[in-house]
Amino acid sequence: MYRRILIVVSTLVFAFAILFTSVLRTASVKYVFSQETEIQEEGQEGEAAEIDYMLPYPGRISPDSPFWPIKAFRDRLWLLLTTNPSRKAELELLFADKRLAMSKTLFEKDKSEIAFSTLTKAEKYLEKACAIEQENRQNGLDTSEFLTILSKASLKHRQMIDEILTIAPEDAKPGIGRVQDYSKETYNKTRNALQGKGLPVVENPFESE
């Protein structure tokens, strides 16, 4: 009896995974860029800013893998099943960080279309983490520690996108620049929130730009 139930459940899960993969591929946004990249002159790029924030290991399955839709579905399911609002904000940031790292790797592999799509999703996850933090704070939760982490993360995202801009195709750069606005806005919001709480503000090394 239990074995039969297990077989049925396994079959349904497998079928659903295939269906989800097909739908996701059909609905995915397509971006087409050339592979021409402008080479920076030696000494043209300034020293990289020091950001006290480490990105997590993105994992072995990246968006160019045939198994990626299953991993993406797992992430969405993970968020859906997470009821703790503080943990949900942390997960949004985790997924943002991982996709940011994946995006840079994909740009390095000259897979600019999927790299840009991944970068856009990364910054939308970052924006969502910021929105959840704000909601949690308004609901009376103590978000002080997460605010500082999120503020540092936003600066790291900005730094990484600056690095991506040096290797991305020329026709992708305007879109990447617009996507970078998510990290800039997140920093501004977290800085203002930290100031409002009377907490130390994370220094912005890009302020002079």
What's the pLDDT tens digit per position in 111-164? 999 999 999 999 999 999 999 999 999 999 999 999 999 999 999 999 999 999
Q: How many domains does the chain have?
A: 1
In a domain, 125, yes or no: yes
34 CB neighbour count, 10 Å cutoff = 10
Q: Is residue 156 part of a domain?
A: yes
Domain of 130 in residue numbering reads as 89-202
Per-residue pLDDT reduced to its tens digit, 19-58:
344 334 433 434 344 444 443 433 334 456 789 999 999 9
Q: What was the pLDDT predicted at 34?
A: 46
What is the predicted pLDDT for the residue at 44?
A: 39
- Asked if residue 166 belongs to a domain, the reply is yes
Measured distance CA(69)–CA(141) in Å, rounded: 34
Tell whether 77 is covered by a domain. Answer: no
Q: Is residue 28 part of a domain?
A: no
Asked, for residue 55, whether it belongs to a domain, the answer is: no
Q: Is position 34 within any domain?
A: no
Q: Are 122 and 157 in contact (CB under 8 A)?
A: yes
Q: In this structure, is residue 126 part of a structural domain? A: yes
Instruction: Give CA–CA dist 202/51, Å, rounded.
Output: 10
Residue 180 per-residue DSSP state: T
Tokens of 83: 């009821």
Q: What is the residue type of 192?
A: N
H or E element, residue 53? none
Q: What is the pTM of this model?
A: 0.79
